[in-house]
A and B are shown apart, each in its own frame.
Chain A
Amino acid sequence: MSDSNNAHNVSYLDYKGQYKGLSAWIFSTDHKRIGLLYLYTMLAFFSVGAILGLLMKTELIAPGATIMGPKAYNALFTLHGIIMIFIIVVPGLPAVFGNFFLPIMIGAKDVAFPRLNLLSWWLYVIGILIVLTSQFLGDGPPDTGWTFYAPYSFQTPANVLPAVFGAFVMGFSSILTGINFVVTIHRMRAPGMTWFKMPLFPWTLYGTAWIQILATPVIGITLLLIVAERLLGIGIFDPALGGDPILYQHLFWIYSHPAVYIMILPGMGVISEIIPVFSKKTIFGYKAIVLSTMAIAFVGYFVWGHHMFTSGMSGRALYTFSFLTFLVAIPSAIKVFNWVSTMHKGSLDMQTPFYWAVSFIFVFMIGGLTGLVLGSLATNVHVHDTHFVVAHFHYIVFGGTGYAFMAALHYWFPKMFGRMYDLGWANLGWGIFFIGFNALYLPMFFLGMQGMPRRYYDYLPDFHGGNIISSLGAWVMISGIIIIFANLIRSARHGKKTTQKNPWGGKTLEWQVETPPTLENFEEIPTIEKGPYHFGE
Chain B
Amino acid sequence: MIEHRDDLASKMGMWLFIFTELLLFGMLFVVYAVYRSMHPEAFKLASEELDVVLGTFNTVILLISSMTVAMSITSIQKGNKKLAMTLLIITLVIAVVFLVNKYFEWGSKFEYGFNPGGEELLQLGHGTILFFGLYFVMTGIHAIHILIGVGLFIYVLLQLRKDKIHQTDYIWLENTGLYWHLVDLIWIFLFPLLYLIH
Contacts and interface: CB of A to CB of B under 8 A. Distances in A.
A225 interface: yes
B129 A113 contact: no
B116 A232 contact: yes
B117 A183 contact: no
Interface residues of B, number: 36
Contacts of B27: 217-218, 221-222, 251, 254
A164 B69 CA distance: 36
A254 B8 CA distance: 31
Nearest to A180: B13
B112 to A, nearest CB: 16
B103 interface: no
Given A7-B1, A235-B133, A242-B39, A218 B34 contact: no
B147 interface: no
Interface string B31-58: 1001100110000000000000000000
Contacts of B117: 232-234
B21 A217 contact: yes
Contacts of B13: 112-113, 116, 179-180, 183
Interface string A199-218: 00000000000000111111
A222 B19 CA distance: 17
A225 B137 CA distance: 8
Contacts of B31: 225, 236, 247, 251
Contact of B127 (A186, A216, A242): A242
Given A7-B1, A217-B24, A247-B31, A234 B16 contact: no
B137 A234 contact: yes
B4 to A, nearest CB: 8
A169 B197 CA distance: 35
Contacts of B126: 241-242
A187 B38 contact: no
Interface in A217-235: 217-218, 220-222, 224-225, 228, 232-235
Contacts of A216: 20
A183 B6 CA distance: 11
Interface in B116-167: 116-117, 122, 125-127, 129-130, 133-134, 136-137, 141
A213 B16 contact: yes
B130 A214 contact: no
B12 interface: yes
Interface string A476-519: 00000000000000000000000000000000000000000001
A113 B12 CA distance: 11
A221 B19 contact: no
A236 B6 contact: no
Contacts of B30: 250-251
Given A242-B125, A244-B38, A519-B1, A234 B133 contact: yes
Contacts of A183: 9, 12-13, 16
Nearest to A186: B12
B77 to A, nearest CB: 22
B20 A217 contact: yes
Interface in A142-186: 175, 178-180, 182-183, 186
A243 interface: yes
A182 to B, nearest CB: 6
B104 interface: no
Nearest to A113: B13
A273 interface: no
Nearest to A116: B13
A235 B8 CA distance: 43
Nearest to B11: A183
Contact of B129 (A214, A242, A244): A242
A51 B120 CA distance: 50
A188 B133 CA distance: 45
A241 B130 contact: yes
Nearest to B6: A187
Nearest to A243: B130
A234 B17 CA distance: 28
Interface in B67-116: 116
A234 B136 contact: yes
A217 B126 CA distance: 27
Contacts of B122: 241
A186 B15 CA distance: 13
B133 A244 contact: no
Interface in A1-57: 7
A253 to B, nearest CB: 12
Contacts of B34: 244, 247
B60 interface: no
A236 B12 contact: no
B120 to A, nearest CB: 14
A236 B9 contact: no
A218 B28 CA distance: 9
A456 to B, nearest CB: 32
Contact of B19 (A213, A228, A233, A235): A213
Contacts of A222: 27
A520 interface: yes
Contact of A234 (B12, B24, B35, B116): B116
Contacts of B23: 214-215, 217-218
A218 B25 CA distance: 9
Interface of A: 7, 112-113, 116, 175, 178-180, 182-183, 186-188, 213-218, 220-222, 224-225, 228, 232-236, 241-244, 247, 250-251, 254, 519-520
24 contacts: A113-B9, A113-B10, A113-B13, A183-B9, A183-B13, A186-B12, A187-B9, A213-B19, A214-B23, A217-B23, A218-B27, A220-B20, A220-B24, A221-B28, A222-B27, A228-B116, A233-B117, A234-B116, A235-B129, A241-B122, A241-B130, A242-B129, A244-B38, A520-B1
Interface of B: 1, 6, 8-10, 12-13, 16-17, 19-21, 23-25, 27-28, 30-31, 34-35, 38-39, 116-117, 122, 125-127, 129-130, 133-134, 136-137, 141
The 10 nearest A-B residue pairs measured at CB: A242-B126, A233-B117, A217-B24, A234-B116, A217-B23, A217-B20, A234-B133, A179-B16, A187-B9, A221-B27
Given A7-B1, A232-B116, A236-B137, 6 more contacts: A182-B12, A183-B16, A188-B9, A213-B20, A221-B25, A247-B31
